[in-house]
């Protein structure tokens, strides 16, 4: 098994539809021992049974990334209970719902700062927090989305946050590379999760991707999970600072997908929405 004897921390499970759940599952299947965090008491009730499912009941810790004291207690607990880490998965993002709709120009400073703090700074703080526990060759992985590179309706301030997150991956990769630690991101295609439900017209995004991606389907948390398993494992030991797309190929498209209908090139989107 590829991750036999490896230990990883998973941050960002809300429920069994979370991308982090798909990643935890793929890592567990390859033999990893996992530790989990939960955001608050309400989520603890959901995360504990999941930790139990993965044989990690004793390694569940509170982490609200907006609270610096949680990082210090997480470090202490990991050091005492769990020991050194071979990988860390950061799968956390948040922006106020009213900033994920309408005109980007109306983004408030408060929404901007919240999105940056929870979705970007948290990766830097988490990396710094666990650094003394990371084994040589350890891997840090975060989750991003194409809205960082291209305009995506309603993604707004989260697109700006993801651009900063991807840039942070490159700067962290350089710094931590000195210690042989790798930092990468997966840019996942749209997946229906709790976080995604905060984005207006998310179902439209899902249908658009399905219609226009080369593979003609949306990705699953299992598909993101297996790509993540590769990136946290020694299989990717020469890979750092990368943004790896797991989106059925959607990001390569320069024009909408077309199909032949009665000898006439027709946008696939039109065909799917008509029938």
Of 215 and 258, CB closest to ligand NAP = 215
Query: Out of 61, 155, 230, 245, which one is annotated catalytic?
Result: 155
Q: Which is nearer to ligand NAP, 32 or 198 (CB)?
A: 198
Number of C-beta neighbours around residue 16 at 10 A: 14
Give the pairing type, strands 33-38 and 60-62.
parallel
Active-site annotation holds for 155: yes
- Is 145 in the active site? yes
Q: Nearest 10 degrees: CA dihedral of 166, 168, 171, 172?
A: -110
- For 16-64, the DSSP string reads TTSHHHHHHHHHHHTT-EEEEEESSHHHHHHHHHHHHHTT-TT-EEE--
CB-nearer residue toward ligand NAP: 43 or 257: 43
C-alpha separations of 251 from 28, 175, 258 in Å: 29, 28, 16
Which pair of tokens denotes residue 74? Answer: 């997480």
Task: Give dist(CA 248, CA 13) in Å, integer.
Answer: 23
Least distance (Å) from ligand NAP to the CB of residue 262?
35
Rounded CA separation 101/136 (Å) = 43
Give the residues across from 88 on adjacent strands. Answer: 9, 140
Rounded to a whole number of angstroms, the minimum distance from the CB of residue 159 to ligand NAP is 10
Please report, as ranges, the residues that interact with ligand NAP according to CB under 6 A. Answer: 12-14, 18-20, 39, 43, 63-66, 91-94, 118, 143-145, 188, 190-191, 193-196
Query: Would you give the distance in Å from CA 106 to the centre of its chain?
Result: 26
Task: Provide, rounded to whole angstroms, the least separation between the CB of residue 175 and ligand NAP.
Answer: 21
Residue in 21, 61, 145, 245 annotated catalytic: 145
Match 């993604």 to its residue by tokens.
155
- How far apart are CB 147 and ligand NAP at their closest, in Å? 8
Nearest residue (CB) to ligand NAP, 121 versus 258: 121
Shortest spacing between CB 243 and ligand NAP, in angstroms: 11
Measured from the CB atom, the residue of 133 and 191 that comes closer to ligand NAP is 191
CA triple 173-176-86, angle to 5 deg: 100
Q: H or E stretch including 224?
A: helix 221-232
Catalytic residues: 145, 155
């Amino acid at each position: 098994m590829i991750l036999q004897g490896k230990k990883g921390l998973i941050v960002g499970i809300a429920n069994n539809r979370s991308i982090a759940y798909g990643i935890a599952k793929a890592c567990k299947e390859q033999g990893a021992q996992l530790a989990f965090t939960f955001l608050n008491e309400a989520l603890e009730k959901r995360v504990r049974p999941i930790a139990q499912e993965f044989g990690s009941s004793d390694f569940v810790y509170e982490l609200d990334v907006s609270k610096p004291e949680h990082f210090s207690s997480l470090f202490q607990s990991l050091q005492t209970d769990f020991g050194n880490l071979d990988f860390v998965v950061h799968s956390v993002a948040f922006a106020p719902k009213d900033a994920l709709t309408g005109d980007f120009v109306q983004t408030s400073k408060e929404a901007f700062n919240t999105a940056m703090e929870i979705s970007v700074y948290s990766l830097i703080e988490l990396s710094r927090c666990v650094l003394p526990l990371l084994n040589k060759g350890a891997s840090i992985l975060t989750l991003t989305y194409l809205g960082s590179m291209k305009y995506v309706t309603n993604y707004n301030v989260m697109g700006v946050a993801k651009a900063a997150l991807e840039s942070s991956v490159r700067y962290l990769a350089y710094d931590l590379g000195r210690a042989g630690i790798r930092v990468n991101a997966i840019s996942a295609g749209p997946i229906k999760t709790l976080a995604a439900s905060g984005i207006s017209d998310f179902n439209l995004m899902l249908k658009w991707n399905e219609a226009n991606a080369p593979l003609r389907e949306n990705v699953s948390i299992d598909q993101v999970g297996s790509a993540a398993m590769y990136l946290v494992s020694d299989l990717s030991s020469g890979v750092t600072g990368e943004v790896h797309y797991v989106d059925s190929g959607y990001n390569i498209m320069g024009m909408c997908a077309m199909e032949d209908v009665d000898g006439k090139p027709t946008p696939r989107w039109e065909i799917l929405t008509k029938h």
